[in-house]
């Protein structure tokens, strides 16, 4: 077996591993409440050969952009994997749990912790979009995060839908009603170290309020770290999907331009132009509504994880997100090149 591109509900179970200590089963799930400028992230991943998990919720709005001042942060490292746990059926020691209702169709996410209680359920709006290989290798958007093995299944997909339920944060109940959701799943050997070169890029998503239309793209810089101007560049879209009129199409080609950045490098506005495998053209203009400067889990990679709204296909301020990621070497270069002034491409 090797890289998987066929939609299979069984891929939401743990896969057989090859004994590699870096073997990884990872998922992020985000949902958003645009009227509150609120984004909620559930990130969890397992390293079964190391017998550890990392998981928990992170919630932020426009009033906090660091893990120390965001609305809520309970993402824990180095948790033990409970006996009998599976990829989407587990309860961890920090109070975070996931339950499968129907594979690749519906999942319940719960959390109980100091000043926070969450009980929400995801329902799929379309089948997952499995990433394809590019030129016989892992797509540039993921190539340094997962390695192909000939002996075992490896792969990656994106999946969108709607979230419903409630959250209570510091005594305030927040109703979650048909909130737009993006979730992914990656499995396979995934070495994560600070001495691995990574290209700068963006991971972008937009969805109609009812979940019947949307897009997701990976975009990757074409510049080596030490030559990347960061501002005024056009990133190439290497993977993604476009959902329109009930038909999902793989993105064949396209670009992403971050047209405005703040004085600290945070993205403010951007434009996507792409064509899918059916010849349909996508143009989406995005405005970033909040930011979390997340140190993440990828060695020296820093992510501006953002709530973003999009104008596309007649939708205005459609819910979505941006993960604008760069290494700390990129970030230092940004400040050396541009100082502390707001910049426009």
Residue 183 and residue 11: Cα distance in Å, rounded?
14
Task: Answer whether residue 285 is part of any domain.
Answer: yes
User: Which token pair is 184?
Assistant: 């992914």
Task: Answer whether residue 12 is part of any domain.
Answer: no
Residue 134 and residue 156: Cα distance in Å, rounded?
13
Range of the domain at 73: 21-344
CA nearest to 336, candidates 231, 234, 241, 240: 231
Q: Is 308 left (phi over 0), alpha (psi -120 to 50) or beta?
A: beta
Q: Please give the average per-residue pLDDT across 206-230, as a whole number.
A: 92
Task: Answer whether residue 1 is part of any domain.
Answer: no
Strands 155-169 and 106-113: unpaired
Task: Answer whether residue 239 is part of any domain.
Answer: yes
**Whether pLDDT at 1 is above 60:** no
Is 134:218 a contact under the CB 8 Å cutoff?
Answer: no
* Phi, psi of 181, rounded to the nearest 5 degrees: -125, 140
Task: Answer whether residue 108 is part of any domain.
Answer: yes
Residue 62 and residue 44: Cα distance in Å, rounded?
24
**Whether pLDDT at 323 is above 80:** yes
Task: Answer whether residue 195 is part of any domain.
Answer: yes
Q: How many CB atoms lie within 10 A of CB 148?
A: 16
Residue 129 and residue 123: Cα distance in Å, rounded?
15
Per residue in 180-215, pLDDT (tens digit) is 999 999 998 887 777 767 788 999 999 998 889 999
Look up tokens 């990829």; give the residue: 87
Is 325:303 a contact under the CB 8 Å cutoff?
Answer: yes
Task: Answer whether residue 316 is part of any domain.
Answer: yes
User: Which token pair is 340?
Assistant: 């502390």
Task: Answer whether residue 6 is part of any domain.
Answer: no
CA nearest to 292, candidates 76, 65, 6: 65
Three-state DSSP at 50 gives coil
Residue 12 and residue 89: Cα distance in Å, rounded?
10
Total residue length of the chain? 345
CB-based contacts of 226: which residues, under 8 Å, 6+ apart? 329, 333
pTM of this structure: 0.94
Q: What is the pLDDT of residue 130?
A: 94
Q: How many domains does the chain have?
A: 1
Q: Please give the average per-residue pLDDT across 30-49, as a whole number.
A: 96
Q: What is the pLDDT of residue 322?
A: 97
Per residue in 286-313, pLDDT (tens digit) is 999 999 999 876 667 889 999 999 999 9
Three-state DSSP at 295 gives coil
Residue 339's pLDDT band, with cuts at 50, 70 and 90, is: confident
């Amino acid at each position: 077996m090797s890289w998987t591109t066929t939609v299979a509900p069984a891929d939401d179970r743990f896969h057989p591993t090859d004994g590699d200590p870096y073997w990884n089963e990872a998922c992020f799930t985000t949902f958003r409440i645009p009227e509150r400028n609120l984004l909620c992230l559930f990130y969890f991943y397992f390293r079964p050969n190391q017998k550890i998990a990392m998981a928990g919720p992170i919630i932020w709005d426009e009033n906090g952009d660091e893990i120390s001042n965001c609305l809520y942060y309970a993402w824990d490292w180095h948790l033990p994997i409970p006996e009998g746990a599976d990829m989407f059926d587990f309860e961890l020691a920090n109070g975070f749990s996931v339950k499968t209702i129907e594979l690749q169709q519906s999942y319940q996410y719960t959390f109980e912790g100091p000043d926070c209680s969450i009980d929400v359920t995801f329902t799929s709006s379309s089948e997952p979009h499995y990433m394809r290989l590019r030129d016989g290798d892992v797509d540039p958007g993921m190539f340094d995060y997962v390695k192909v093995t000939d002996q075992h299944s490896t792969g990656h997909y994106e999946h969108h839908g709607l979230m419903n339920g409630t959250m209570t944060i510091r005594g305030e109940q927040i109703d979650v009603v048909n909130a737009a959701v993006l979730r992914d799943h990656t499995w396979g050997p995934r070495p994560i170290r600070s001495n691995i070169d990574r290209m700068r890029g963006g991971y972008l998503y937009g969805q109609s309020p009812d979940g019947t239309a949307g897009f997701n793209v990976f975009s990757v810089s074409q510049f080596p770290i030490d030559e990347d101007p960061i501002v005024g560049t056009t990133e190439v879209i290497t993977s993604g999907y476009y959902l329109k009129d009930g038909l999902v199409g793989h993105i064949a080609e396209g670009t992403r331009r971050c047209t405005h950045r703040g004085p600290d490098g945070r993205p403010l506005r951007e434009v996507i132009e792409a064509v899918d495998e059916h010849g349909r053209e996508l143009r989406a203009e995005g405005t970033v509504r909040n930011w979390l400067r997340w140190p993440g889990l990828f060695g020296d990679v820093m992510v501006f994880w953002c709530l973003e709204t999009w104008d596309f296909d007649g939708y205005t301020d459609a819910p979505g997100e941006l993960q604008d990621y760069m290494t700390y070497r990129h970030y230092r270069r940004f400040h050396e090149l541009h100082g502390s002034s707001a910049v426009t491409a």
